[in-house]
Amino acid sequence: MQAKDATLPRRPSQAGAGASAARLPRGALDSPLHRPELFDRLQRGDHAIFRAMLREQQLFMAGDLIIRGGEQNGFVYRIRTGWALRVRGFADGRQQIVAILLPGELCGVTSIVTSRHDDAIECATPVTTNRASDADIRSLAEGEPDAALRLLFQLAESDRRLQTWLAALGRADAEERMAMFLIELRARLRRIGLAHRSFSLPLTQQQIGDHLGLTVVHVNRVLRRFRECGVLTLRNRTVVLHDPARLYGIAAPILDTFRTPDPGAHAAA
C-alpha cells in the first residue's frame, strides 16, 4: 500500500496507459479553451515546476493511494505515467469518482492553502509521479509568475471539468453521461497522444459506475446497448469506437452547452 521511494523503473509499467507516455506529454497544456497567448508561459511554468520536482519520484501500484482522504498532505504531485482517480468516499461505503487524472497533470495543488483533502487520490493503474512540498511550490510560485500561472491553469481546468461533470450528473441520463464521459476522455487522451480509433480505459465497470453515478449493473446494460447499436465496444479495458458520430449524437444535447439561460428562450426559432 505504501509507495516505494525509488528511481523509476526502465519500463514504468506494462499497462497500455503508461507505456507510450514515458516522455512527458505537453498536450495537457493545450486545452481548447485556454488562452493561446499564454501557452508559452504555461509551458515554461510547467518546466519550472517539473524541475522543482525532479528530486522526488515515486512509483505506485494499481490500487495504492497517492493522497489519503481526510488528511493533510504536504505535497503537490505531478502524474508522469498512469491513471489516477480523485475519489470521494462516504461513511457507508458509497463512493464517487470525482475526476480522472492523466499524465502531465498536477494534483494536490490545493494543498497549498487547505489543511485537509476531502478526496483521496487512488491509482487505477501503476502510476509514476514526481512531487514537491507545498511550501516549495508556494515559494516557487512567488518567485516565478509562470509557475504560478501553471498552477492556476491546473485549478481552472479542474474547475471546468468538475463543473461540466457536475452538470451532467445533475441533469443528464445514463446514456448521455456515458457518451459524454467517453468523448471527453478520448479528447484528453488524444491531446497527450494516447488515443486513436481505440483507447485504453483501465477502469472496472464498478469504477465507471462510481464516476457516472450509476450502478455496475446499469453501466453494463448501457454498454451492451451501445455495443448492440454498433456504436462502440469495450473489451479488455479497451474502447473501440465504431461510430463516433452516433456517440456524439447521443451526447449532443449535453455537449452543446454554453447557452445562457435567458428567460425568453422558448419564443426563439
Contact set for a second copy, span 120-159 (CB under 8 A): 120, 122, 138, 141-142, 145, 148-149, 151-153, 155-156, 158-159
Which amino acid appears at position 267 of this protein?
A
Residue 26 touches which of a second copy, DNA, none (CB < 5 to 8 A by kind)? Answer: none
**Binding residue for DNA, selected from 6, 187, 217, 240, defined by CB under 7 A:** 217
Q: At what angle do helices 134-143 and 145-171 cross, to 10 degrees?
A: 120
Please, which residues bridge with residue 76 across strands?
A: 132
Look up cell 514526481; give the residue: 130
By the rule CB under 8 A, 36 interacts with a second copy: yes
**Binding residue for DNA, selected from 215, 244, 246, 255, defined by CB under 7 A:** 215
By the rule CB under 7 A, 216 interacts with DNA: yes
Calculate the dihedral angle through the C-alpha atoms of 141, 144, 146, 152, rounding to the nearest 10 degrees.
Answer: 10
Which residues make Cβ contacts (< 8 Å) with residue 109, sequence separation at least 6?
A: 76, 137, 151, 154, 155, 158
CA–CA separation, 255 and 56 (whole Å): 39
By the rule CB under 8 A, 205 interacts with a second copy: no
**Binding residue for DNA, selected from 4, 55, 196, 221, defined by CB under 7 A:** 221
By the rule CB under 8 A, 163 interacts with a second copy: yes
CA–CA separation, 168 and 177 (whole Å): 6
Residue 224 touches which of a second copy, DNA, none (CB < 5 to 8 A by kind)? Answer: DNA
- Residues lying near DNA in the complex (CB under 7 A): 173-175, 204-206, 213-218, 220-221, 223-224, 234-237, 263
